[in-house]
Amino acid sequence: MPVMNLTTTHKIIIAAALLFSVTGALAAKLFYQPPAKAEAIYSQALEDEKNGDFANAYYLFGKVKQGSILKPPALFHQAQNAAKLDDTKSVQKVYKILYEGYPAHKLGIKAKYLYAIEIIDSNPAQAKKYFEWLVQEYPDTECAIASEYFLGLLIADKYKDKPIPVSERTDAENHFRTYLEKAPAGRWGMNAVNNWLAMSENINPDDKLLMARTYYLFADYENADKILSALEPQESWALNAMNLFALGDPLKARSVTETGLSDYAKYVDHKDVYDAIDKYFAATGYGLSVVNRLLTYANDKGQDYLWYLKCSAIPAAEKEACYIAFYNKYPTGQYSAEILAGLFFEKIKKGDYDSAQKIGKDYLMKFPRTNSAPLVLFWLGKIAQRQDNYKDYNHYYNLVISKYPDSYYAYRAYLNLHHLDTPIVSRQLKEVPVEFPYKNKDTLIVKLGELKDYDLISEFTDDEFIKSWVSYKKRDFTKSTIEARVAMDKLEEKPDRHDLRWRLVYPLVYYETVKMYANENNAPLMQSILREESYFNPNARSVTDARGLMQLMPDTAREVAQRYGIPLVSPDDLYNPVTNVRLGSQYYLFLKGMLDGRDISSIAAYNGGIGSVQRWKSNLNYQDTDEFVEQIPYQETQLYVKKVFRSYWNYVRIYGD
């Protein structure tokens, strides 16, 4: 066999190949880990952390290798466990590894912020650089907002025992001010106020008002009062009134509110004026006489709100005149859309369809995306239907369904469009689970969800639907449903009914129990009552002592239990989901039997009482169900009917065939 002579070049190539092979194998050993093994290690580490074995949890999280998507969260957990072991050196070391190794990862950014806090005493200059970097690069994040506080604190601490130069004091004040403006009730709010007060003697009135607001939001009403009582009333009166109500001094608070509305309303933000008015009503009781009293004082901001409340409270015969007077006075005000919609419906009640159509079209031109737009679209369709104008009613009904698909008026439009006499569209729902709310899944978030590391997910996502999903997975159904509802309400264009986010807004929680006892009640409708009454909180209790999922009053529950032989030992039994749903469903059946089997009347009676509904049906002047609902005198009951049937419609829309 011939011997091959290797040149120097060949030797170098072979040596390089061998080196690459060795380093590649070493790199694979250091960085690669089968996903199943990484997940098993991570899961066990989570379990140890949960059980308080922080040392072993720290060790196991460190065994997750760098090539795994779980490495950044594993590092974050390591730092948290080191903190629980009071191992400051390891905390700093791990945070540094995390932000240097994963600088663009949200956990890396958070780690840099937390590392800066860790070294604020030992290396304030470095901490300052990191806080400034966060403010510069990620200005709207929670970390950046909190960094403003720490930047102010660094200056305050630097001059704690010596005079502070004017320029430095100005910088510190700017940081504290920015923090309080962006997060007046934030974690560091009280610290920011107290450090600012300790650092500066001459603080301008605007900044003192900012401090007083933070004291108020933290329920430190006495310190808020000390600041507010020393300020001129022009810009402080509304907050001062609210704080006085909170302190239990209603007489003085009412006086401050009345004087403020009369003399200083123009100096205060609209929201503060409205909040002060609401606190006034909460202390004195809401009624037409109280509204009229405040109107004698109001001559600027707040006057439109009070006029709106007056039009809502006056007798039906006077409403049209009130609406016209309001709209002429405030044609573009905050409540003008609601008032114009009210005037629109007054014309419909009187059968003046020509005027109603003119007002309705004018409304849609001026206020196309307001809360009352679905009502106006629906009733324009209803007028056209009454006039046998197929083209127009088809147009308006389809418009409300397409633009506001999840609204009560989309539901009513669907019924009228298809000439359905019953409010029950479907009695069957396809039971499918709540899933991660996006089809294009974030691999890491889904993986952490599978591992039940829910708290960490919340550390690095701002998506409200994902936060709702996390709450759902933690079985906090009330929080989850509210979070998803708020997030969906923010979307101007609603997604398709098959979108997974809808399941978070309208989850089928306790539905197995509902189906067990709904009988002919219709399970989707009972499910809707659960959602609107308690948001699936079995321990819910109202100020009137209504309890549990379906918010039953103990006396009502006792009567139903005795009548139908359902066990009920004490009112606390109503916190049991099965007992509550069984009694609530039976009570609804009773109401329905007393009201000729009519579901809308029964839903109204569930909230407003059967006697009230029978009286309304006798006294109100209405042509059909739609007019009856719009004229229910109790605002709470009218809204309740609309909310329950909105929920019903959405359950059928999302889960129905």
Which whole number is the average pLDDT over 486-497? 95
At residue 545, what is the residue type? Answer: D
- Token digits for 301? 């901001």
What pLDDT was estimated at residue 8? 57
Write out pLDDT tens, residues 548-561: 999 999 999 999 99
Specify the CATH number of the domain 234-377. Answer: 1.25.40
Write out pLDDT tens, residues 112-150: 999 999 999 999 999 999 999 999 999 989 999 999 999
What pLDDT was estimated at residue 132? 97
**CATH-assigned architecture of domain 511-655:** Orthogonal Bundle (1.10)
Does the domain at 35-221 match CATH 3.40.50.150? Answer given as no
Which whole number is the average pLDDT over 435-456? 91
Spans of all domains in the chain: 35-221, 234-377, 443-505, 511-655
DSSP notation for 381-425: HHHHHHTT-HHHHHHHHHHHHHHSTTSHHHHHHHHHHTT--SS--
- Token digits for 253? 């608070």
Based on its alpha-carbon atoms, the radius of gyration of the chain, rounded to whole angstroms, reads 32
What pLDDT was estimated at residue 21? 47
Nearest to 486 by CA among 463, 459, 509: 463
The answer, yes or no, to whether residue 388 has pLDDT greater than 60, is: yes
Average pLDDT, the chain: 93
DSSP notation for 587-619: HHHHHHHHTTT-HHHHHHHHHH-HHHHHHHHHH
What pLDDT was estimated at residue 609? 95
From residue 416, how far is each of 426, 624, 625 by CA, in Å?
A: 15, 12, 11
Give the dihedral of Cα atoms 532, 537, 539, 542; nearest 10 deg: -30
From residue 188, how far is each of 115, 183, 525, 632 by CA, in Å?
A: 17, 9, 45, 47
The answer, yes or no, to whether residue 472 has pLDDT greater than 80, is: yes
The answer, yes or no, to whether residue 309 has pLDDT greater than 70, is: yes
Measured distance CA(61)–CA(41) in Å, rounded: 7
At residue 127, what is the residue type? Answer: A
- Give the single-character DSSP code of 550: T
HSE-CB of 322 using CA atoms within 13 angstroms? 22
What pLDDT was estimated at residue 440? 81
What pLDDT was estimated at residue 375? 98
Which whole number is the average pLDDT over 372-392? 97
What pLDDT was estimated at residue 255? 97
Measured distance CA(225)–CA(208) in Å, rounded: 11
Topology agreement, domain 35-221 and domain 511-655: no
The phi and psi torsions of 598 (rounded to 5 degrees) equal -95, 120
Write out pLDDT tens, residues 67-78: 999 999 999 999
pLDDT tier at 606, thresholds 50, 70, 90: very high
The answer, yes or no, to whether residue 383 has pLDDT greater than 50, is: yes
Which whole number is the average pLDDT over 637-645? 98
Active-site residue 533, yes or no? yes
Which whole number is the average pLDDT over 187-211? 95
Helices (H), 451-520: 454-459, 464-473, 477-490, 501-505, 511-518
Nearest-5° angle of CA 204, CA 209, CA 213? 150
What pLDDT was estimated at residue 28? 53
From residue 344, how far is each of 218, 323, 650 by CA, in Å?
A: 44, 10, 27
Write out pLDDT tens, residues 13-53: 444 444 444 444 445 556 788 999 999 999 999 999 999 99
Which of the residues 132, 148, 533, 636 is marked catalytic?
533
User: The pTM is what?
Assistant: 0.88
